[in-house]
Amino acid sequence: MEQTYVMVKPDGVQRGLVGEIVSRIEKRGLKIIAMRLNVIAEATAKEHYGEHAERPFFPSLIEFITSGPSVSMVVEGKDSVKVMRAVNGATNPVDAAPGTIRGDFALDVGRNVVHASDSPEAAAREIAIHFKDSEIAAYSRVDEVCLYE
């Protein structure tokens, strides 16, 4: 099974959307195998968003993502990277379909509630930034026989 990194950003935590987002992930059939609520350290945020370091929005992105608690998760399932990107909706909430997290709960690209890795390679990198191997729990869901052929 594929793993991906998902974050409920500080705006999602502040708005009380964590339960709704976790529920959507689980109802879709994906499995949460690690989860943490914390304020991300500045150095960790800079490592996570390193590919944007030269962009003009980088300083404000780091300031925002470290401004309050966020929820980091490792989510597992078949094609979890693609599935989570679809569950989240388009990065710009204006383009996000109704029924997606961003389509239902966000209005601005700078406050779009959630992050999910955009590739399996990015997922592996982001998971390693936020979690130790010992913090990831391997287990089987009782409904997996109903989810996968």
Domain annotation covers residue 120? yes
Active site residue 48: no
Domain annotation covers residue 109? yes
User: How many independent structural domains does the chain possess?
Assistant: 1
Read off the CATH number of the domain in which 19 is found.
3.30.70.141
Q: Whats the size of the chain, residue-wise?
A: 149
Domain annotation covers residue 146? no
Q: Tell me the mean pLDDT in the region 118-143.
A: 96
Structure tokens at 52: 């944007």
Q: pLDDT tens-digit profile of 62-87? A: 999 999 999 999 999 999 999 999 99
Q: pLDDT tens-digit profile of 18-51? A: 999 999 999 999 999 999 999 999 999 999 999 9
User: CB within 8 A of 77, min separation 6: which ones?
Assistant: 1, 2, 29, 30, 31, 83, 147
